[in-house]
Structure 1
Amino acid sequence: MKKNKQAELILKMSSKELTFHLLVTQLLLFILFVIFGIVLFKDFASFFDLFRMDRSVITLGAVSGIVIVLIDVVLMKILPEKYYDDGGINEKIFSNRSIAEIAFLAMVIAICEELLFRGVIQTHFGFFAASVIFALVHIRYWGHWFLIVNIIVLSFWIGIIYQLSNQNLLATIFMHFIIDFLLGWIIRQKHFSKKGKGGMDHEKEPF
């Protein structure tokens, strides 16, 4: 029942309205990062030490992101569509977006979520706390057992990558970005293939 109500609510919202809510949520996460970051980090240097352009950004971040997307693509082909049914939220957000818009949204999400969950929570409270809170925050998936398992596994895997990279936020931000961007692009391509490119132009909504 709850899932049906969520789906009905999503259908009534335009992609512009849904994107607005998404950006507001990310802004709130960023504000929490700023507040807790000021309290928990002893100085700016200790925070900026978490950003390093080293080999782990590619070997751990990029490779893990691509592997996760490939696994998802395989599962999408094997499993019934209902297993990935999130009430139409992702399709509503990404289907009519340009590549640049998808990249922008993926970057905003990756930066805001990783700054808070890995940069602040995992750095100061540990791997388990950050992974559990990350999974709980994605509450829209909690009406579907498969999506629950999916987000929990992803949450813990990003946390592991953060640890393996010796707490390099650039590695997890890049990983997170690749996952969201590629999956957003896949949703967009599926929508184009169903309706045809010519029929999409008049449906396009700006941010």
Structure 2
Amino acid sequence: MEGNGDKQPWDGRLLLLNLCLTQVLVVLLAVGLLLVQGRLGVGLWTPAGVKMWVLGLFIGLTVVGLDGLVYRFLPRSWTDDGGLNRMLFEHMPVGWIAIVALSAALAEELLFRGALQYWLGIVGSSLLFTLIHFRYLKKWLLVLMLFGISLVFGWMTDFSGSLVPAMCAHFVIDFLMGLLIRYGKVG
């Protein structure tokens, strides 16, 4: 608990280490599943074209904008993730925020849109994507937002035939939200 003088069980460095290890495991699982599927290759990275990069950027910026409205106008109790994002990003250098955002976008989209969506479809992979973000599960609004974002990522992958637009949107969201937390604008 904050403010009671007790040491936090987690700090930013431990969270970062946990995140890095988790992302390595996610990549290994994704690569293993894609090998089993016989789909590990350049087909996942099919050139999406400038329009699909712009779509990813637009979706990412739209999500951050909507997220800002939610945080501004809805009660904090509806959007509090337990402070883990704040602990992770509040003192992190901008370069590290970019690395964290890029690794999460690459690893998670490779697994959920690249491997799992192939077997489970957009809804099934989105349900799993939402469930792995377990710290949000006690907040119905965060669960709905995350599930909706994941559905959009799945649609972009299906529509473009490439992971690139979803990865772009995922990076934009994580990077900008990390910056907003770092500079005290949300969190």
User: Does TM, scored on the shorter chain, surpass 0.5?
Assistant: yes
- For 1:80 and 1:56, locate their aligned partners in 2 and report how far apart those are by CA, in whole Å: 37
Q: Classify 1:122/1:10 alpha carbon distance in 2 versus 1 (closer, same or farther; 3 Å).
A: farther
Q: Would you identify which runs of 4 or more consecutive aligned residues in structure 1 move more than 6 Å? A: none
What residue number does 2:171 align with?
Answer: 177
Instruction: Work out whether residues 56 and 171 of structure 1, in 8 Å CA contact, stay in contact via their aligned partners in 2.
Output: no
Q: Please state if 1:127 is matched with 2:122.
A: yes
Instruction: Work out whether residues 66 and 179 of structure 1, in 8 Å CA contact, stay in contact via their aligned partners in 2.
Output: yes
Instruction: Work out whether residues 10 and 89 of structure 1, in 8 Å CA contact, stay in contact via their aligned partners in 2.
Output: no
What residue number does 1:48 align with?
Answer: 42
SS of 1:49 mapped into structure 2? helix
- For 1:81 and 1:128, locate their aligned partners in 2 and report how far apart those are by CA, in whole Å: 28
What residue number does 2:101 align with?
Answer: 106
Instruction: Work out whether residues 53 and 164 of structure 2, in 8 Å CA contact, stay in contact via their aligned partners in 1.
Output: no
| Higher Cα radius of gyration | 1
Q: CA RMSD in A?
A: 2.0
- For 1:100 and 1:126, locate their aligned partners in 2 and report how far apart those are by CA, in whole Å: 34
The alpha-carbon deviation at position 82 of structure 1 amounts to: 1.9
Q: Please state if 1:28 is matched with 2:25.
A: yes
- For 1:34 and 1:185, locate their aligned partners in 2 and report how far apart those are by CA, in whole Å: 30
Which of 11, 35, 40 lines up with 1:14 in the alignment?
A: 11
TM-score of the superposition, structure 1-length normalised? 0.81
Structure 1, unaligned runs of 5 or more: 194-207
For 2:181, give the aligned amino acid: I
- For 2:81 and 2:157, locate their aligned partners in 1 and report how far apart those are by CA, in whole Å: 27
Instruction: Work out whether residues 64 and 177 of structure 2, in 8 Å CA contact, stay in contact via their aligned partners in 1.
Output: yes
Instruction: Work out whether residues 26 and 111 of structure 2, in 8 Å CA contact, stay in contact via their aligned partners in 1.
Output: yes
**Paired positions, count:** 181
TM-score of the superposition, structure 2-length normalised? 0.89
The alpha-carbon deviation at position 10 of structure 1 amounts to: 9.6
Q: Please state if 1:72 is matched with 2:67.
A: yes
- For 1:124 and 1:55, locate their aligned partners in 2 and report how far apart those are by CA, in whole Å: 28
What residue number does 1:84 align with?
Answer: 79
Q: Classify 1:56/1:122 alpha carbon distance in 2 versus 1 (closer, same or farther; 3 Å).
A: farther
